[in-house]
A and B are shown apart, each in its own frame.
Chain A
Amino acid sequence: MSEGTPASRRGAAKALLSFRAWQPPTFRHFNKRGFWALYFHRGVWRFYRFGLELLVGPLVSSLLFVMVFVVAQSERAAMVPGVDLIQFITPGIILYAVAHTAFENAAAMLVFEKMEGMIADVQMAPLSPLELLAGYALSSATCGLSVGLLVGGAAAIFVDFSYFDATLVFGFAVATALLFGLLGTVVGLWAERWDHYSAVEGFFVVPLGLLSGTFFSVERLPEALKEWIYFNPVFYAIDGFRAGLIGYAESSLTVGLTLLTALIVALALLGWRLFAIGYKIKP
């Protein structure tokens, strides 16, 4: 992967914005079989083959988080009046596992293929840019949701989720998985080495996941940060998901869903264009 000369970078930027390139995809010729091979066999099945590491690992670390909070919580201070601390943080931990897995899977898969030179196999196949994007992003979203189901199922044994609103829970979980699956795909295309990927993970995705109201109520934040958190889309995702599980929300669910949908559409368009111009994957 070369850095790209200024001229070729300008060319890429131009192609990204070029009008001619924005043709709508032709759904009639959607390569179903190719998509399925990329989605299931390369994406989802690969993930399950490493199940011990990729499925059970997040499960153990999520449950450890819950356990630490159970032992370390102070009896006096409830997070929010009327809401149990463990009930409050568990939904955040579940959704963090979903988001992190969805991001990690797409990005790591792309960086690995680029580093090993295997990306050519995917590009040689008769798959359109849209099919490529769908294959990577949807398989990662599926993996993220699998982890979410596992962690959520295990957490439901210990934590009271009797207020269960399936629409909200699945709506926000699917939106988060899609958002981070797409983000992972875009970052995977951009990253040229492993440390680029882990820089984005360590300095962007993990902080975003941990500081977006996962473990604390807005009320606990210092004044200066209180207004800013309402500009953070992940905050809405976690809040909406929590609302579906325990029925306590701190923000507007409509605003949250609209914001997440808009971001998903924007990232999908970006990812689709990046595949179409072969950004950093075609010589």
Chain B
Amino acid sequence: MGRVNGRGLWTLYMKEVRRFLNVFTQTILAPMVTTLLFLAIFTLALGGGGRQVGGVDFAVFLAPGLIMMSMVQNSFANTSSSLVIAKVQGNIVDILMPPLSASELTLGIAGGGVTRGLLVGLAVGLGMWLFVPMQIHAPLFVLYHAVMASLMLALLGMIGGIWSEKFDHIAAVTNFVITPFSFLSGTFYSIERLPPVWQTVAHFNPFFYMIDGFRYGFIGHADGSLVAGLIVMALFNLFLWTVTHRMFATGYRLKP
């Protein structure tokens, strides 16, 4: 590994960040409003009668899950749409031509996705804090899982974006993989409510660990093992990083 092209990396990262900040109503405020609406409807529909989940009020239980859901959906959307649009419009050469190595490309684009994920998470969190009495129990868990989850979905978005040849392909990945996983991995309910078979399945699902660990940071109660969550997230991200790096290095579906 030679010298890092710091300026090129920064330029790529800022290009990714400006791309979504330019339309921040669409990329930050709209997800925030939608997530607050989810909070309102789920609390109204399911939280009646002082219902408690995991030892806290239903709304307090729900809020971290919803923050996580909006973060992962947005970091995935950022990197995947950036790559698919660049490929369809043909301006992908603009990021392949400059003297940027595969690691720098991975880091720059993933960094943009992580930044969007964290900004959306912050916006949603602040919005919810107005309505829900949230407390931070373990700030390091919150930070670790927020960054790791955004990174994981940013990398998945890059893999999906590189693999897709048309908008249909990436829409299919979003609809059939990302949305179901972010909905069904314990965002809205404690995993104890699932049938035993599905509880076992959940323990192999990284989405479950990131929601569970993130929620632990707020309410101090977790369904799964915390240590396992930390390790699973780190290893899975390492694996995804390697895959993405290989894709850029070999030019899979990027170079003719």
Name A's B-contacting residues (CB within 8 A). 50, 52-53, 56-57, 60-61, 64, 67-69, 71-74, 76-77, 79, 85, 89, 194-195, 198-199, 201-203, 206-207, 210-211, 214-216, 220-221
| A contact face: mostly helix, strand, loop, or mixed | helix
Whether the Cβ atoms of A195 and B23 lie closer than 8 Å is: yes
Interchain CB contact (< 8 A) of B49 among A69, A76, A206? A76
- CA separation between A206 and B26, bound complex, in Å? 13
Instruction: Given contact pairs A85-B45, A199-B30, A210-B37, enumerate 7 new A-B contacts (beta carbons under 8 Å).
Output: A57-B175, A64-B179, A77-B46, A194-B26, A198-B25, A210-B40, A220-B45
Whether the Cβ atoms of A203 and B33 lie closer than 8 Å is: yes
**Which chain A residue lies CB-closest to B182?**
A64
Whether the Cβ atoms of B176 and A77 lie closer than 8 Å is: no
Across chains A and B, which 4 residue pairs bring their CB atoms closest together, nearest first? Answer: A202-B30, A72-B189, A53-B171, A216-B44
Whether the Cβ atoms of A71 and B41 lie closer than 8 Å is: no
- Contacts A57-B175, A64-B179, A198-B26 known; A210 to B41 CB distance under 8 Å? yes
Whether the Cβ atoms of A71 and B168 lie closer than 8 Å is: no
* B199 vs chain A, min Cβ distance (A): 12
Chain B residues in 8 Å Cβ range of A211: 37, 40-41
Whether the Cβ atoms of B33 and A71 lie closer than 8 Å is: no
Whether the Cβ atoms of A207 and B188 lie closer than 8 Å is: no
* A261 vs chain B, min Cβ distance (A): 28
Whether the Cβ atoms of A77 and B23 lie closer than 8 Å is: no
Whether the Cβ atoms of A61 and B30 lie closer than 8 Å is: no
- Contacts A52-B171, A60-B179 known; A69 to B45 CB distance under 8 Å? yes
**Which chain A residue lies CB-closest to B29?**
A202
Interchain CB contact (< 8 A) of B34 among A85, A202, A215? A202
| B contact face: mostly helix, strand, loop, or mixed | helix
**Which chain A residue lies CB-closest to B180?**
A64
Chain A residues in 8 Å Cβ range of B44: 215-216, 220-221
Chain A residues in 8 Å Cβ range of B189: 68, 71-72
Interface size on B, residues (CB 8 A): 34
Interchain CB contact (< 8 A) of A206 among B33, B42, B46, B48? B33
Name B's A-contacting residues (CB within 8 A). 23, 25-26, 29-31, 33-34, 37-38, 40-42, 44-46, 48-49, 51, 167-168, 171-172, 175-176, 179-180, 183-184, 187-189, 193-194
- CA separation between A69 and B46, bound complex, in Å? 8
Can you list 18 pairs linking A and B with CB atoms under 8 Å apart?
A56-B175, A60-B175, A64-B183, A69-B46, A71-B193, A72-B42, A72-B188, A76-B49, A77-B48, A198-B23, A199-B26, A201-B30, A202-B34, A207-B37, A210-B38, A211-B40, A216-B41, A216-B45
- CA separation between A151 and B26, bound complex, in Å? 27
Chain A residues in 8 Å Cβ range of B49: 74, 76-77
Contacts between chains A and B (CB distance < 8 A), count: 101
- CA separation between A214 and B40, bound complex, in Å? 12
- Contacts A53-B171, A57-B175, A77-B49 known; A203 to B183 CB distance under 8 Å? no
Chain B residues in 8 Å Cβ range of A198: 23, 25-26, 30
- CA separation between A220 and B47, bound complex, in Å? 10
Interchain CB contact (< 8 A) of B48 among A67, A72, A220? A220
- CA separation between A68 and B180, bound complex, in Å? 10
Chain B residues in 8 Å Cβ range of A67: 183-184
**Which chain A residue lies CB-closest to B62?**
A72
Interchain CB contact (< 8 A) of A203 among B30, B40, B167, B180? B30
* B178 vs chain A, min Cβ distance (A): 11
Interchain CB contact (< 8 A) of B179 among A61, A71, A215? A61
Chain B residues in 8 Å Cβ range of A72: 42, 46, 188-189, 193
- CA separation between A267 and B25, bound complex, in Å? 26
- CA separation between A203 and B30, bound complex, in Å? 7
- Contacts A202-B34, A207-B37, A215-B44 known; A53 to B175 CB distance under 8 Å? yes
Interchain CB contact (< 8 A) of B168 among A53, A64, A203, A216? A53
Chain B residues in 8 Å Cβ range of A53: 167-168, 171-172, 175
- CA separation between A40 and B30, bound complex, in Å? 32
Most buried by B among A56, A73, A85, A202: A202
Whether the Cβ atoms of A74 and B184 lie closer than 8 Å is: no
